[in-house]
Structure formats: C-alpha cells, structure tokens
Amino acid sequence: MFDRFGRKIDYLRISVTDRCNLRCVYCIPSGGILRRPHSEILSFEEIHRIVNVAVRLGINKVRITGGEPLIRKDLHILIKSFKKINGLNEIALTTNGILLSDYTASLKNAGLDRLNISLDSLVSKRFEKITRGAGLNKVLDGIESAFSAGFKSIKINTVLIKDFNTDEILDFAALTRTRPLNVRFIEYMATASDDSPDDNLFFSCFRAKELCGKLGNLIPISEMPDGTARVYKIEGFMGTIGFISPISEPFCNTCNKLRLTSNGKLKNCLHPSKTIDLKEVLNRESADRDIAMLIREAVDLKPQSHSFASSAAKQEKENFSMCQIGG
Ligand code: SAM
C-alpha cells in the first residue's frame, strides 16, 4: 500500500492491552488509565482477522506492544496464529522485560522473530523512580534469558531524559562491547501523562551520539536498515547503537506504520487527524471487505508529518497517552 506521499505502508504495531505492570512517569498518568471493560478489548481471533486482511493489503511486519504485552494471557497463541499468515515476514515484540524470563522459551517456540526491551536506567533506585515500580534485576535476567532462548536480534530501547539518565549513556553504549545487543536511544516525546518530565528535560540524540564517540569511532551500519533509527557500531564492539530522533530529526518522510489500539482503533500517526474504528465492523458478514476498506482509508488519510510542536498537537496531548497507543 502506498499513501498520498508515496510512502510504502507495510508495518503494523498492535497494542494487545492498555494495562501495564509498571507506571513509567512519561507514559502512564500517576492515577493510572481508565480500565477498559474486557468486552471492548479485541480478542486474539479479532486481531488475527485484522492482521490477515492487512497482510493481504501489503503489511509484512507486525510489532506486538501495549501497555505491557506480556501481561496478556497466552500471548504465544497469538504469535503462533500470526506465523500461519502467508506474507507476514516478521513478528516483533516490545516489552518492559519484567516478565520476560518466564516467557522467552514459549515466545521463541511460537515463532517470535525480534525482541525490543525498554530500559531507561541501569541503576536500581533510578529504575524504581522512572517506572514507579521495581524489577531492574528481572529485566536484566530477561535479557539473559532471551539470549539463552536463542533470540538473535535483541534491542534495548532507552528514552533519553536530561539530567535523569543522560549520565548513563556511555554505560548503555558499553553494553554493546561484548554482547550482540542493539541499544537504541530515543528522544523523549511530551505526552498527556500528568507526571511527564517537562519539555525542558529533552535531550537530543545528536548530543547522545557525540558522547558515544568517546568510546571509539562510530561506524555507520548501512546493511542494517532500520526504518527509524540511525545505527552505528562502535569500532571493535560486538553490538550496535542507534538513535531515534522523533523531535530533532523527525522521520515522517519514511514512516511506514499504522497502529492498532487494544480496543480496535486504527491510527495512521501518533497524532492522527482521524481514528478509524475497526471493532465496529468485525461482526458484519462483510467484515473482511469492510476491514480492508477501512485500512485503505487510514492509509489514504495518513498525514504527511506529525507535529509535536504545533499548538494543535499540544491540545491533542490531552488525549495522548503512550501506554494506550503502544509507543
Ligand atoms: N510496556 C512495553 C514497554 O515498556 O516496552 C511496551 C509499551 S511502551 C508504550 C513502548 C515504548 O514506548 C517503550 O520503549 C517506551 O519507552 C516508549 N515510550 C513511552 N512513552 C514515551 C515517551 N513519552 N517518549 C518516548 N518514548 C516513549
């Protein structure tokens, strides 16, 4: 599928739940989010049906996210069902890693291809502060367990928060010295969370990259195309580091994504002008045809760019909580 601006849309992010076992200050409001009744949440069968249609239209990669996807029971069953869809080339998962070591084997056996683990601090006290929870060691165990289960491509996602974790940039980059890890630094995006660090805590990937240069020459990795990240290897290191700059260098002109929320809303941008309800058509006899029509509509309406800085986008922050969109 191509949109009005010639971008090929082939990637669908799927939030399987709004719920999370952490409360990251930049992601979830301290009061939590309104818990959706079970009946509003897409079942695995419904998600499978939507993905099946989406793949026929040209989607070839999906990412399972949340909330925290690993708190959704029997997630491996959904992954197994995706594996049967011809034309779906890649199934990835983004997790906070707290429950990961319990599930790495079943995820791998089900056919999960790639794992992204979110981790913003390697210091326990800070981890607790940013996540309003505990469990740094569980996340680190989860990473080891993922290696043991045979995952080849493990990414660590680290949101840069000025004066909070930016003194750990080199420690994160150093994780790639002897392990085939891909550490990716992400610029913080202001959201509706009432405890969000304010915009002054923004720290650019440009500065993070400059700092990483202290560890050695940064060699651009061109053979590892990664839609959003600029990826480098520090000379002599085993893994890679990447920089995702939605604020300082927006990558909208190469955006290939659609997002499906846990209650069946299709979003064509982090800040969409229109959200399309797929759940509504799922019970119709003509469901597949209607889903296809609505997916095409979302692609046709995909905006040229997101605009975190505009006043409209600022107003929209009130309705923008990352845990409901899936990152
Ligand atoms: N619970 C899972 C996790 O922690 O990875 C999946 C959902 S989480 C919303 C997905 C990603 O979005 C995480 O890597 C998280 O750090 C990122 N994220 C959430 N809020 C963000 C923000 N305000 N700015 C930048 N990244 C954010």
For 160-174, the pLDDT digits (tens) are 999 999 999 999 999
Confirm whether 289 is domain-assigned: yes
Note down the domain range covering 199.
11-324
CA of 325 to the centre of ligand 1 (A): 9
Q: How many domains in the chain?
A: 1
> pLDDT tens digits, residue range 186-225?
999 877 555 555 667 899 999 999 999 999 999 999 754 5
CA of 285 to the centre of ligand 1 (A): 36
- Please give the Cα distance from 31 to 196 (Å, whole number): 13
Atom of ligand 1 nearest to the CA of 189: 24
User: Percent of the chain, pLDDT > 90?
Assistant: 76
Confirm whether 77 is domain-assigned: yes
Confirm whether 49 is domain-assigned: yes
- Please give the Cα distance from 317 to 314 (Å, whole number): 5
Q: Is 95 in the pocket of ligand 1 (CB under 6 A)?
A: yes
> pLDDT tens digits, residue range 105-143?
999 999 999 999 999 999 999 999 999 999 999 999 999
- Please give the Cα distance from 162 to 239 (Å, whole number): 25
Are the C-beta atoms of 196 and 26 separated by less than 8 Å?
A: yes
> pLDDT tens digits, residue range 84-95?
999 999 999 999
Q: Is 157 in the pocket of ligand 1 (CB under 6 A)?
A: yes
Confirm whether 126 is domain-assigned: yes
Are the C-beta atoms of 77 and 103 separated by less than 8 Å?
A: no
Atom of ligand 1 nearest to the CA of 190: 23
Confirm whether 3 is domain-assigned: no
Q: Which residues of 16-46 are buried (b: 16+ CB within 10 A; e: fewer)?
A: bbbbbebbbbbbbbeeebeeeeeeebbebeb
Confirm whether 5 is domain-assigned: no
Q: Is 96 in the pocket of ligand 1 (CB under 6 A)?
A: yes
Q: Is 191 in the pocket of ligand 1 (CB under 6 A)?
A: yes
The CATH number linked to 64 is 3.20.20.70
Confirm whether 139 is domain-assigned: yes
| pLDDT value of residue 36 | 84
> pLDDT tens digits, residue range 235-281?
999 999 999 998 998 888 899 999 999 999 999 998 887 899 999 99
Confirm whether 1 is domain-assigned: no
